[in-house]
Amino acid sequence: MKDMITIQNLTKTYGKHRGVEDVTFSVREGEIFGFLGPNGAGKSTTIRSMLGLIKYDQGEIRINGLDSVKDREKILADIGYMPSEAWFYPGMKIREILKYSAAVRKVDCTDEAEKLCDRLQVDVKRKINELSLGNRKKVSIICAMQHRPKLFVFDEPTSGLDPLMQNVFFELIQEYVNEGATCMLSTHVLSEVRNHCTRVAIMKEGKLVVTDTVDNLLSSRSKRIKMIRDGEKLDYIYKDNLNNLYKELEGHHIEDIIIEEPSIEEVFMHYYLKEEK
């Protein structure tokens, strides 16, 4: 499968401050790719560099084979980007915002916009400044989707959306992906990653720490152990070979033991914890 996004040795500093350092990964055509990491890890810097919103210092970014600097306009024509902040000009009606967003791209999105408003339960007659954060997010989602782009880039799309609308959002993404689109999703919600993403990249302190399939990352050898040993209740993550656990338990009275797969939060947590200095 060909790459939709290729990022090679991306480095961006903000004056003396670190942004991202030597980041290399790729997103394949047709996948839903999770982009994770704690606050300040460098996700937005990477995304803004991809979209030409900031100038990076070193490296190369190609999107659908095109150079992110030289071919910026061509690239942007086929991207649906949703920033984490859902801000619009106050006073505008939703209908006007959607029309304006389509006109900037010089495409007629009327049918798709109507379908999306219906699915996301958006009333186009309402003014943007009357809306809750969740409803503004829905407008932002429609602006990113209505021109049916080849590539979606979402920065924390579901924060503020109720669970029903979160479901509708992922149904829509899946439908577009089934028709050939690619989706890069920056999120802090690990259940979204487990349920919807095929591969992930995890950033930490400006560097890429891992990129792999969600299945591989979750099938690590660690297990969650819950047991009552010698009258004591224990609940912990065991990272060694299970044969060693059985040896360690010899001579103890085991009243009860449950060995289960850890949650995605438990598996991913160490990528989020700060390194000991």
Ligand X SMILES: Nc1ncnc2c1ncn2[C@@H]1O[C@H](COP(=O)(O)OP(=O)(O)OP(=O)(O)O)[C@@H](O)[C@H]1O
Query: Is 157 near ligand X (CB under 6 A)?
Result: no
Residues whose CB falls within 8 Å of the CB of residue 192, separated by 6 or more in sequence, listed in order: 34, 158, 166, 170, 185
Nearest to 249, CA basis, from 264, 270, 221, 228? 228
Query: Is 207 near ligand X (CB under 6 A)?
Result: no
Q: Work out how close the CB of 48 gets to ligand X at its nearest, in angstroms, rounded to a whole number.
A: 8
CA distances from 173 to 78, 102, 116, 274 (A): 15, 19, 11, 33
Burial zone of 140 (CB within 10 Å; 0-12 exposed, 13-18 middle, 19+ buried): buried
Query: Is 44 near ligand X (CB under 6 A)?
Result: yes
Q: Work out how close the CB of 110 gets to ligand X at its nearest, in angstroms, rounded to a whole number.
A: 34
Handedness of CA 27, 29, 34, 35 (dihedral sign): positive
Residue carrying structure tokens 């209740």: 233
Q: Work out how close the CB of 107 gets to ligand X at its nearest, in angstroms, rounded to a whole number.
A: 30
Specify the residue, 101 or 158, whose C-beta has the smaller distance to ligand X: 158
Residue carrying structure tokens 């306009």: 73
Query: Is 39 near ligand X (CB under 6 A)?
Result: yes
Query: Of the candidates 27, 33, 43, 81, which one interacts with ligand X according to CB under 6 A?
Result: 43
Q: Work out how close the CB of 188 gets to ligand X at its nearest, in angstroms, rounded to a whole number.
A: 7
3 state DSSP class of 88: coil
Query: Of the candidates 6, 45, 64, 158, which one interacts with ligand X according to CB under 6 A?
Result: 45
Query: Of the candidates 21, 27, 34, 37, which one interacts with ligand X according to CB under 6 A?
Result: 37
Query: Is 49 near ligand X (CB under 6 A)?
Result: no
CA angle 135, 189, 34 (to 5 degrees): 105
Assigned token pair, 179: 């028709």
Q: Work out how close the CB of 91 gets to ligand X at its nearest, in angstroms, rounded to a whole number.
A: 28
Residues whose CB falls within 8 Å of the CB of residue 171, separated by 6 or more in sequence, listed in order: 119
Specify the residue, 45 or 68, whose C-beta has the smaller distance to ligand X: 45
Q: Work out how close the CB of 27 gets to ligand X at its nearest, in angstroms, rounded to a whole number.
A: 17
Using the rule CB under 6 A, give the single segment among 15-23, 134-142, 146-154, 209-217 that binds ligand X: 15-23
Query: Of the candidates 4, 5, 6, 19, which one interacts with ligand X according to CB under 6 A?
Result: 19
Using the rule CB under 6 A, give the single segment among 42-50, 105-113, 137-145, 254-262 that binds ligand X: 42-50
Using the rule CB under 6 A, give the single segment among 40-48, 141-149, 174-182, 262-270 that binds ligand X: 40-48
Q: Work out how close the CB of 183 gets to ligand X at its nearest, in angstroms, rounded to a whole number.
A: 18
Query: Is 275 near ligand X (CB under 6 A)?
Result: no
Nearest to 113, CA basis, from 144, 155, 83, 84? 144
Contact 98, 134 (CB under 8 A): no
Strands 3-14 and 17-28 turn out to be: antiparallel
DSSP β-bridge partners for residue 79: 151
DSSP β-bridge partners for residue 202: 36, 210
Query: Is 146 near ligand X (CB under 6 A)?
Result: no
Query: Is 17 near ligand X (CB under 6 A)?
Result: yes
Give the residues lining the site for ligand X (CB under 6 A): 14, 17-19, 37, 39-45
